[in-house]
């Protein structure tokens, strides 16, 4: 396995509210990306709190099944963010645990996980936002007047929300991407797919960073990612 990562404040925001972390868990690997919710003043604190909680939880990983442990770690991280002051604050979270030929994933919010094989996008996590609800549950009178990109799930709300989980087999040569929406909102999906599937993780990372920092795109948001090749 080889990987590459980057985190960048972008060209507009004053502060990088993204956070990323990696640890080796025995023979396995854990990757985490968090994105402090824009519009809330303590996003950097929220993202770091969630990241630190998940990493700490996996440093003491029990003999529980990876999926069960990941769910527990996400729940503990959410509680940690809810208890954190000052408020308001919030963060998205995406986590990937790789072990025994299986990818165990978890996410809350609109930070994403992508799975590529043979130059194709096999699977992508679904964002927890208003647009997703409109497409999957039908339009409601209230939703028509909301920002379609507005989050309806993230860590830091006054009540606990549900994270989503998905696991799948990985094969040698597969590529995985964890990213904040500073990438997925501003680089077209075909460009992401081409960059990841036609380059090494490091070259793909450098290529996507250069594109986001062009005058045409202007990197309006913080951007952070891990690119992993099995």
Residue 138 lies in a domain: no
Residue 144 lies in a domain: no
Residue 146 lies in a domain: no
CATH number at residue 221: 3.60.40.10
Rounded to two decimals, the pTM is 0.93
Residue 67 lies in a domain: yes
Q: What per-residue string of b and e applies to 82-96 under the rule 16 or more CB within 10 Å gives b?
A: bebeeeebbbbbbbb
Residue 97 lies in a domain: yes
Task: Identify the domain containing residue 183 by its residue range.
Answer: 2-125+154-229
At residue 38, the pLDDT reads: 84
How do residues 149-184 score in pLDDT, each as one tens digit?
689 899 999 899 999 999 999 999 999 999 999 999
How do residues 60-73 score in pLDDT, each as one tens digit?
887 779 999 999 99
Q: What is the largest CA-CA distance in the chain?
A: 51
Number of domains in the chain: 1
Residue 213 lies in a domain: yes
Closest CA to 2 of 98, 109, 137: 98
How do residues 25-67 score in pLDDT, each as one tens digit?
999 999 999 999 987 889 999 999 999 999 999 998 877 799 9
């Amino acid at each position: 396995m080889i990987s590459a990562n980057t985190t960048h404040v972008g060209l507009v925001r004053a502060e990088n509210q993204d956070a990323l972390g990696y640890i080796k868990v025995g023979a396995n690997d854990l990757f985490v990306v968090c994105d402090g919710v824009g519009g809330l003043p303590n996003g950097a604190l929220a993202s770091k709190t969630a990241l630190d909680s998940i990493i700490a939880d996996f440093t003491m990983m029990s003999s529980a099944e990876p999926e069960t442990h990941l769910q527990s770690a996400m729940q503990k991280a959410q509680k940690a963010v809810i208890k954190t002051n000052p408020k308001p604050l919030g963060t998205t979270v995406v986590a990937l645990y790789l072990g025994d030929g299986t990818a165990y994933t978890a996410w809350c919010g609109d930070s994403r996980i992508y799975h590529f094989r043979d130059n194709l996008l096999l699977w992508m996590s679904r964002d927890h936002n208003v647009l997703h609800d409109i497409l999957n549950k039908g339009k409601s009178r209230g939703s028509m007047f909301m920002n379609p990109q507005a989050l309806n799930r993230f860590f830091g709300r006054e009540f606990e929300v549900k994270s989503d989980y998905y696991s799948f087999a990985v094969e040698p040569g597969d590529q995985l991407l964890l990213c904040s929406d500073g990438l997925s909102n501003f680089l077209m999906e075909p460009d992401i797919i081409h960059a990841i599937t036609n380059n090494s993780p490091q070259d793909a990372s450098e290529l996507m960073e250069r594109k986001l920092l062009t005058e045409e795109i202007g990197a309006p948001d913080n951007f952070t990612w891990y690119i992993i090749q099995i």
